[in-house]
Amino acid sequence: MSNKWQDIPRLLSFLRSADRSGYVSGQSLAAQAGISRSAVWKQIRKLRDYGYGIDSVQGLGYRLVTETQHPVPWELKRILKTSYVGSEVVYLPIADSTQSTALTIANKTDDANGTVVIADRQKSGRGRLKRKWVSPSGGLWFSVLLRPRIPTSSITLLPFVAALAVREGIAKSTVLDARLKWPNDVMISGKKVGGILLDVSAEAEAVNYAVIGIGINVNVDMTEIRSKIPDAQEITSLKSELGHEVSRLELIRRVLESLEHFLDLLIRKGAYEVITAWKNHSDMLGRRITILQNDKPIHNGRALDLGDDGSLLVKIESGKTIAVTSGDVRLRY
């Protein structure tokens, strides 16, 4: 998207500085913004599209009635309390995939540590192994570009860091206590509510960049998602679990703040702390599972523990314990 939205915070500040009536006339807005009255009208329409409630009364003008709950960058930057995650925010009403956009940025510059790319919806959202990630409007779909000062061997822990951040973000914005499922799923009542994707560029010694993609079904229409992934395991949204909508703006703020916190934990304290935190919020250890690789079941067994690199230690049916480093897990009952 072009940077045209840069005008929006200005227009909002004029609306917010209304007198006690709450109304600002179109004429006054046009004069303050230095644009025509029809341009004002177009901008107001845009604001409504971005989720603001704006009243208009002939003879009085426009009044800001409700603030937005959409994850728009000018609001996110106002409330976000982080030192580098979200220092730059790119917002796209529609993207192919925020992951691809963030990767393009990563390959174009040497910095941009913490840049976040958010899309209202994605046309070609992706999961791991070229799987599709259905991303209609109403969800949170974003990617975070990081240049973390961690050894290359710690890369495998980044999805765990991200899953912890999503869980904590949900816990801080709602009453829901999400659980984590190896390797990258965020679950509520046994159903997948969010997923994580990691793309990295690294050398033997150091990480050039990591792009963490996060998808959370916030207020999405689940019937629409289910119709597009008939083979899907059980899935849910925060709205379905709660019976009401959740502010995507508040949620992404919390997730990004937690992401910075857990990244710091990894950088300062190392793998053990991250793995311990992850285990505290997972209920799959001790459970009977099936391990799948490339969507095919390869072993049945019991999930025992997590290794320091994030691998899943599984006692398989032969009695042997193996460390699984990639794949998916299905819980058995």
Contact 311, 324 (CB under 8 A): yes
- Which two tokens mark 161? 């860091």
- Nearest to ligand BT5 by Cβ — which residue? 195
Q: Which stretch binds ligand BT5 (CB under 6 A): 6-14, 64-72, 214-222, 246-254?
A: 214-222
Q: Which stretch binds ligand BT5 (CB under 6 A): 119-127, 147-155, 169-177, 314-322?
A: 119-127
**Any contact of residue 327 with ligand BT5 (CB under 6 A)?**
no
**Nearest CB to ligand BT5, comparing residues 135 and 154:** 135
Q: Which stretch binds ligand BT5 (CB under 6 A): 3-11, 229-237, 269-277, 306-314?
A: 229-237
Closest distance of CB 309 from ligand BT5, Å: 19
Which residues, numbered 145-204, are part of the site for ligand BT5 (CB under 6 A)? Answer: 184, 192, 195-197
Closest distance of CB 287 from ligand BT5, Å: 18
Q: How far apart are the first and last CA of the chain?
A: 47
**Nearest CB to ligand BT5, comparing residues 75 and 185:** 185
Alpha helices in the chain (DSSP H): 7-16, 26-33, 37-49, 73-79, 98-108, 158-173, 222-228, 238-242, 248-269, 271-280
Cβ within 8 Å of residue 130, ≥6 positions away? none
Q: Which stretch binds ligand BT5 (CB under 6 A): 126-134, 146-154, 285-293, 314-322?
A: 126-134
Q: What is the C-alpha to C-alpha distance for residues 95 and 135, in angstroms, rounded to an integer?
A: 10
Amino acid identity of residue 171, one-letter, is A
Torsion (CA) 99, 130, 187, 257 in degrees, nearest 10: -10
**Residues at the interface with ligand BT5 (CB under 6 A):** 97-99, 122, 125-129, 131-135, 141-143, 184, 192, 195-197, 213-215, 217, 225, 229, 232, 235
